[in-house]
Structure 1
Amino acid sequence: MAESEDKLYRTTIQTIGAVAKLPIVRVDREAFLRKHFSDSPHLDVILERGPQAVYSVQSLSRKADSIIKTSAAKTSAASFVTGFAGNPTLMVAAGGADLAQYFGFAINVAQQIAYLFGEDELFDGGGDLSEAAQIRVIAYLGAMFGAAGAAGLITQTSTVIGANVGKKVASQALTKTVWFPLVRKVGAAIGMKITKKTVEKSITKAVPIVGGVVSGGLTYVTFRPMGRRLAEVMVKNLNGEFDDHLELNPEFAALADPVPVVVVEPQRPALELE
């Protein structure tokens, strides 16, 4: 079982690493916030501290739903697949054009949702994701797929609620942190979705009118519930409804250096988005 989990986890890391190399997958945090809050008199605060510092959680939730629908409707199969034309190695590593589009779009939408709720920039400008960023992507995708433990992982990696493990991860190898068993568990759950048949089955079950990945295209109805799952976790975090059921390996946790967790009571913004 452990060997199978490790294999699925490695598949997830490989897929995320390959897809993340595509510029089209990346969302610039500042550009995104400027676009969606260009008419706000509080833009400077939003850029520095995040929209959650200015607007209510409820109004951000409504805006998230609008962004999810709009992004999905505007994204075509060609927009992601085209990026592989000059480097077929990436497509092979990601498991094919359909799978690359699927996860590329999921990571793209996940960033938008995360930035809307105040999270920091995912990409640091380099070609590869840092280990801390990999954890965040695994947490986001896990929440979108409804993987057990993903909500707790987001809670622990969130910069907004003050439980950021980024610095801890940066100072030591990911496999030596107390959070690795949870990361591996969520990553393995995502790995179960990475084969084309598994993805098609999950889509068909969730949205009966969609028969799977057809001609490299995915309609917005496929990603709307996935996006909403992630948005709901972000909303709960800002409301102080933390999921702390982490299910860490007791033996590993006892031997590993504990990661300090500081939970900051979220401020209650008074403004509502128009």
Structure 2
Amino acid sequence: MGENDQDRLSATALQTIGAVSKLPLVRVDRDAFLRRQFGKSEHLDAVISEGPHVVYSAKSLRKMADGLIRRSATRTSLASFASGIPGNPVVMVAAGGADVAQYFGFAINLAQQIAYLFGEDDLFDGGGELSEEAQMRIIAYLGAMFGAAGAAALVSQTSKVAGENIGKKLAAQALTRTAWYPLVKKVGAAIGVKITKKTVEKTVTKAVPVVGGVVSGGLTYFTFTPMGHGLADTLYRNALGEFDEAMDLNPGFVADQSRAKDQDRE
């Protein structure tokens, strides 16, 4: 993939995330979600203030994630089936685009649930907007869902829990130079490819109303489930302190470090 293609696909991913994040179905209120999941726990206050990962074992949280994934996959499939029924060729492309937005909206919704389960902070700010850091986290989550190369490393770099396990987060400049620029672009491009493919798939399934709905819903369920498990497995490994995926350093950062060492020797 050429650099121009990578830039274009990464931009597509960011634009889609920005647009989809405004859909009502996307946002998950962290505190409300944790209260629903752990409402019967005597340690609810600690779960909300410190995170479920502090109170419960990573293994038990991973098991709980399975239930979240099953329920979310079912809801997503039913929504995809319903939106697959209208088959007017005049609105076929627009409907396909809307279905893709809905698909990724459900993916981001599930990503938040799994992330909050493993102790991550609220993704949205008080005004319901996504910061640049939050966009990077979504790219990391979606990348892990799609099995994109480098996504697991990006998750560990943007993860609150990973930072706790490491002992301290990388300095902001180091994180930007080593991870956010080259790695986010790489993972973002992989997501951009998925968005492009999904748009084509969803447009095609709109051609036959009822059969299209069945195919769309079936494909959604059997693709959405492993996506959820991919992210849950990544966050589970983070919770265990497993950060074994190597990261490529930004050449500019390496050059800066080399110049700094040369100056120290002078």
Query: In structure 2, what residue type is equivalent to 1:11?
Result: T
Q: Deviations over 1:38-73 (max 9, x none)?
A: 000000000011111111111111100011101222
Aligned counterparts of 2:218 and 2:105: Cα–Cα separation in 1? 12
Q: Does residue 1:77 correspond to 2:79, yes or no? A: yes
Partner of 2:161: 160
Partner of 2:12: 11
Partner of 2:63: 62
Aligned counterparts of 1:120 and 1:138: Cα–Cα separation in 2? 16
Q: Does residue 1:107 correspond to 2:118, yes or no? A: no
Partner of 1:254: 254
Q: Deviations over 1:159-202 (max 9, x none)?
A: 11216869838xx9x9x64321011111011111011457749x
What percentage of aligned pairs have identical amino acids?
61
**Structure with bigger gyration radius:** 2
Aligned counterparts of 2:188 and 2:79: Cα–Cα separation in 1? 25
Q: For structure 2, list consecutive stretches of 5 or more residues without a partner in the other structure.
A: 84-92, 203-211, 258-266
Alignment of 1:234-253 (within 5 A): 234-249=235-250, 251-253=251-253
> SS of the residue aligned with 1:119?
coil
Partner of 1:25: 26
Query: In structure 1, what residue type is equivalent to 2:11?
Result: R
Query: In structure 1, what residue type is equivalent to 2:67?
Result: S
Aligned counterparts of 2:81 and 2:28: Cα–Cα separation in 1? 14
Query: How much does 1:22 deviate?
Result: 1.2
Aligned counterparts of 1:245 and 1:155: Cα–Cα separation in 2? 11
Query: In structure 2, what residue type is equivalent to 1:109?
Result: L
The alignment's C-alpha RMSD in Å is 3.3
User: In structure 2, do the counterparts of structure 1 residues 157 and 212 end up closer, same or farther at CA, with 3 Å as the change threshold?
Assistant: farther
Query: In structure 2, what residue type is equivalent to 1:113?
Result: I
User: In structure 2, do the counterparts of structure 1 residues 111 and 213 end up closer, same or farther at CA, with 3 Å as the change threshold?
Assistant: farther
Partner of 2:191: 190
Query: In structure 2, what residue type is equivalent to 1:103?
Result: F
Partner of 2:87: none
Q: How many residues align?
A: 234
Tell which deviates more after alignment, 177-186 or 141-150. 177-186
Partner of 2:234: 233
Query: How much does 1:8 deviate?
Result: 0.6
Q: For structure 1, list consecutive stretches of 5 or more residues without a partner in the other structure.
A: 82-90, 202-210, 258-274
Query: In structure 2, what residue type is equivalent to 1:43?
Result: L
Query: In structure 1, what residue type is equivalent to 2:122?
Result: E
Aligned counterparts of 1:28 and 1:80: Cα–Cα separation in 2? 26
